[in-house]
Structure 1
Amino acid sequence: MKLTRMAVLSVAFGLSSLANADFIGLKGDISYWNFDGHTRTEHSVPGIATDLNRTYELDRQGTVQLSAAFEHPVPLLPNVKLKYVNLDNESRDSAFSSKTELTNTDLILYYEILDNIISADIGAGLAYLDGTTRISTAGLYTDYDISGSTPFLYAQAGAKLPFTGLSANAELIVTDINDTKMTDAQAELQYDFVKSIALDIGAKVGYRIMKIEIEESKNENIEYEFKGPYIGLAAHF
């Protein structure tokens, strides 16, 4: 009987510890990104020195950006994060215009190197760009297909100010493989106005810069730059 009671108490204690341990986490955020930037086309014709490059300045506009992450304690198995943003934009003047319909989805696999007052993650992932750009010049159209995926490296660093609810965070994605170059960097400040064992909710403000360069052919490139501030909400279960 004593052995049975001890076994039951041991199991109960183990389950209680398991329930209170922060060993599995879900993170999510939604924010509004107010960006501008440019679309740039680069052409080179062998034997011709004329500058055929043109930059299309984008009108400032807003979009929603989302991310979700799942973290766990299983050794050697990476954590998973998804990021999504819609980058539709348009630029127009008297004779030239550009219209882009574009989404970017990142699948990130990463490991936590530090997870305390200072946090740090490293990993890798796959960026999937899906869209097209139409350049109009005096009524003539050129369409660019920019759909495809490319691998990248990922890094994150953050810091918390104890007992204040304030924290800072920065993320970086970089790739230069095959015909695609991409840099996606963002930095933010967050204040947690709800903080408990089960749930943290915070408001954040940050700045994001995203540059994408795609080689369409040997003599033709298209480049995008999106930059601007964002505000949003984040939750950690």
Structure 2
Amino acid sequence: MKFKPLALVVSLGLMTAQPAVADTVFGVYAGAQGWQTDVSGRYGSQQDTMQAFNFDSEQQTSFYVALEHPIPLVPNFKVRQNDLATVGLITLGSDFVFNGEFYASGTSLQSAVDLSHTDYTLYYELFDNDLISFDLGLTAKDVDAFVAVTDAVGRNELRGSGYVPTAYGQLRVGIPATDWTFYALANAVSIDDSEIRDFELGAEYRLIENALVDFNLQLGYRSIVIELDDIDSISSDLDFSGPYLGLEFHF
């Protein structure tokens, strides 16, 4: 099924009516990450017939831009592109039905998955100082899903798209008298049938900090679990997890 974004729009509208603590100046944050993922789980065209596959470890990327401002009541905005793709191979241990096609036990199947998606986040800074900052908001994850299996006869594929709304939170804690900051970020607690649990834990080192630009290096661990419930006949329970390296500019 396709997700209806109406509930998300209403929720975001309610948020804009709440008090906010905003930046004292406009700020733009831009960052990129290279992420090495181990992938596990299963997918299919129905929840009760999903098949587990042996997936390859893959290098993923993520890019984001955020705008923070001092305007009261108006939330800050962040957009983030997440690439999530992998392939694999398996010899079926039991019969498998995918997109109306029957695959008998013993069949060798190549698998392909692409669950890349874009996050659109509205959030408030509830705390913001040199020691601690805490953001809270809502994210709409716009998922463009592609899954496929290939046997000796040919490829069988499905494509779908939909929105998965989640709660958003980020906590940052600076270490006094050092250039280090530790942070945790989460997109979780989905508000619809499907769920995406996106957790990130990392450390950031301030390499450059002046009146014009801040430049930070990041090291951390990220885990995304994507449970899709019939997005255009695509169902999944997949885990992409692993360490990442990143950089961030603050103008």
TM-score calculated relative to the size of structure 2: 0.76
2:190 is paired with a residue of what secondary structure? strand
Match of 2:116 in 1: 103
- Structure richer in strand, relative to its length: 1
Aligned to 2:82: 85
Opposite residue 124 of structure 2, the aligned amino acid is: Y
- Residue number in structure 1 paired with 2:237: 223
Tell which deviates more after alignment, 94-103 or 167-176: 94-103
**Counterpart residue identity of residue 27, structure 1:** Y
Whether the 8 Å CA contact 1:134–1:141 is kept in 2: the answer is yes
Bigger mean CA deviation after superposition, 52-61 or 63-72? 52-61
| Displacement of 1:216 | 1.9
Task: Please say if 1:67 is aligned against 2:64.
Answer: yes
Q: Do the aligned partners of 1:121 and 1:155 also contact (CA within 8 Å) in 2?
A: yes
Change (3 A) 1:163 1:199: farther
What secondary structure is seen at the aligned counterpart in 2 of 1:192? strand
Residue 184 of structure 2 is matched in structure 1 by 170
Query: Which AA in structure 2 matches 1:75?
Result: P
* Aligned equivalent of 2:34: 32
Ranges in structure 2 where 5+ consecutive residues have no aligned partner: 1-22, 92-107
Q: Which moved more, 1:148-157 or 1:71-80?
A: 148-157
SS of the equivalent of 2:73 reads coil
User: TM-score if structure 1 supplies the norm length?
Assistant: 0.81
Could you report, residue by residue, the CA deviation over 1:97-141 in whole angstroms, capped at 9, with x for unpaired residues?
210233210000000011111110000021101131003466475
In the TM superposition, residue 144 of structure 1 has moved relative to its aligned partner by: 3.2
Task: State yes or no: 1:112 paired with 2:125.
Answer: yes
Residue 129, structure 1, aligned to residue 143, structure 2: yes
Name the amino acid aligned to 2:187.
Answer: I
Indicate the residue corresponding to 1:48 in structure 2: none
Total equivalences in the alignment: 210
Residue 150 of structure 1 and its aligned partner are, at CA, apart by: 2.1
Percent identity among equivalent residues?
27
RMSD of Structure 2 on Structure 1 (CA): 2.3
Gaps of 5+ in 1: 1-20, 46-51
In 1, Cα distance between equivalents of 2:159 and 2:193: 13
The one-letter code sitting in structure 1 at the alignment partner of 2:170 is Q
Greater Cα radius of gyration, structure 1 or 2: 1
Residue 58 in structure 1 maps to residue 58 in structure 2? no
Could you tell me whether the CA contact under 8 Å between 1:146 and 1:214 is conserved in 2?
A: no
Identify the residue that residue 148 of structure 1 maps to in structure 2: 162
C-alpha distance in 2 between matches for 1:44 and 1:64: 28
Query: Given the alignment, which residue of 182, 191, 202 partners 2:205?
Result: 191
Q: Give the whole-Å Cα distance in 2 for the aligned partners of 1:192 and 1:220.
A: 42
Structure 2 counterpart of 1:160: 174
8 Å CA contact 1:26–1:69 kept in 2: the answer is: yes
1:12 corresponding residue in structure 2: none
Give the Å deviation of 1:88: 1.8
**Judging changes above 3 Å, is the alpha-carbon distance between structure 1 residues 196 and 222 closer, same or farther for their aligned structure 2 residues?**
same
Q: Which amino acid aligns with 2:109?
A: F
Contact (CA 8 Å) 1:133, 1:146: kept in 2 or not? no
Task: For 2:203 and 2:57, locate their aligned partners in 1 and report how far apart those are by CA, in whole Å.
Answer: 23
